[in-house]
Structure formats: structure tokens, C-alpha cells
Amino acid sequence: MRLYNKYILPKVVDWTCRQKSTMNQRIELISLATGNVLEIGVGSGLNLPFYNGDNIKHLTGIDPSVEMWRKRVVDTTTLPFVFNFEKAFAENIPKKNNSFDTVVITYTLCTIPNINKAFKEIRRVLKPHGRLLFCEHGKALNKNIQKWQNRINPFWKRLGGGCNLNRDIPLIIEENGFKITKMQAKYIAGWKIASYNYSGIAEPN
């Protein structure tokens, strides 16, 4: 599994995250980021072209996978804002308290091992009146789809680098000190078991 995780999994994840349906979700959300921004799980930088340079002062992208970052889709020196990448985990963000106006997380909450610790870190580095922008796949509303998500999840998680099909994204966000102020929940194009999508904005309580 070590060679798979290092060489094959990054390609699979990158290909999956490039699908048109997920890219459309990114475009809609990312332009809302403002000020000093942190993106958790920046991966290969698929979100980078969609940030509005007029609204952003500085963008920091963190990811534990340097292999994913090496597949980046843009030349970061041409971006219309200051950008830096750091290898880091969501559970241990190497930034000071109240550093960011916006935290962005897309298709990453499904894989974070210690989700509660990660949210403590997000709250710590986010300013009191900052915003969390999120776009994630997760637990479907349809009970039959939920059953299949639960059945398949143990195998999917192993092959997908820790990705969970059945996390209740809104519940996780709200149980960790945030209030969701705007959200869309719907199926996007793709395999139904992995394509129920939550996208929106949350603020610290």
C-alpha cells in the first residue's frame, strides 16, 4: 500500500477531483474568498485559478501530500496575489491565532483522520468574524443510498487514502462551533454513492 499511496493514489485523487461536476462546484464557491485566505487540502491547486485576485491579499495552501502538490495545475508565480504552499496537516496548522479572514476546504473533510481536532485548529486560526467556505461530498439523504455508503465505506476508505463516503458534513461543521449561514445540498453528476454534495458558508459561533 505504501507504493500505491505514494505513486498511484495521487493520480487517482487528482483525476477524480478534476471532473466537470466538481470543478463547477469549485468555481461557484472559491470566488467568495476574501482577505487573508487559508486553503486546507490544496492538493494539486485545482482551486487556484478561481480565486478573485481583487478580493485576496494573500493565500496560503496547506496539504500533507507533497506528491499531490507536485502535480499543480498552475504556475503560482503568475497568480494575481501572493501565494505560499506549506506541507502541513489540518490537525496542526502552523499559523498564529486569528490569522485568516477566510478558510477554504473542498473535498478534504472526507479524509481528515481527526476531524474534531482539525476544526479546533480552523477556529483557532480563523478571525472571530471570518468565514469558512466548504464544498464536500458526504452522507446522502436517501436512506437506500446511505445503506450502500455504509457498506462500501470500509473498502473505499482503504483504497481512497482515507476518504469516507458517509460523513454528515453539516452536522460535523455545526458540532464543531460553526453556524452554517448558506448551503446547497444536492446530487452532482457522477456515481450517486459518492456524489451527494454539500457546498456553503459557515461562521464561528
Q: At 79, phi and psi to the nearest 5?
A: -65, 145
At 7, the pLDDT band (50, 70, 90 cuts) reads low
pLDDT higher than 70, residue 4:
no
> Element (H or E) spanning 26, and its range?
helix 20-30
- Residue 23 has a pLDDT of 87
Q: Which residue type, as a one-letter code, is found at position 66?
A: V
pLDDT higher than 90, residue 95:
yes
At 17, the pLDDT band (50, 70, 90 cuts) reads confident
pLDDT per residue as tens digits for the range 19-59: 888 888 999 899 999 999 999 999 999 999 999 999 999 99
pLDDT per residue as tens digits for the range 111-163: 999 999 999 999 999 999 999 999 999 999 999 999 999 999 999 999 888 99
DSSP H helical ranges for 32-190 = 66-69, 115-125, 143-159, 169-175
Secondary structure letter of residue 107 according to DSSP: S
Rounded-to-integer distance, Cα 152 and Cα 108, Å: 19
pLDDT-wise least confident of 9-18, 31-40, 71-80, 184-193: 9-18
- Residue 196 has a pLDDT of 98
- Counting residues of the chain whose pLDDT is more than 90, the rounded percentage is 81
Rounded-to-integer distance, Cα 91 and Cα 93, Å: 6
C-alpha closest to that of 37 among 136, 170, 131, 173: 131
- Residue 64 has a pLDDT of 95
CATH superfamily of domain region 2-204 = Vaccinia Virus protein VP39 (3.40.50.150)
DSSP H helical ranges for 95-136 = 115-125
| Residue 163 and residue 190 in contact, taking contact as beta carbons nearer than 8 Å | no
Contacts of residue 155, Cβ cutoff 8 Å, sequence gap at least 6: none
Count of other CB atoms within 10 angstroms of residue 67: 17
Rounded-to-integer distance, Cα 30 and Cα 123, Å: 19
State pTM to two decimals: 0.95
Q: Give 136's strand partners.
A: 198
C-alpha closest to that of 66 among 126, 8, 1, 10: 10
pLDDT higher than 90, residue 15:
no
**CA distances (Å), 3 to each of 9, 17, 34, 71, 86, in order?**
9, 21, 38, 17, 23
- Residue 73 has a pLDDT of 82
Q: Please, what is the average pLDDT of the chain?
A: 94
DSSP, collapsed to helix, strand or coil, labels residue 34 as coil
pLDDT per residue as tens digits for the range 57-77: 999 999 999 988 998 888 999
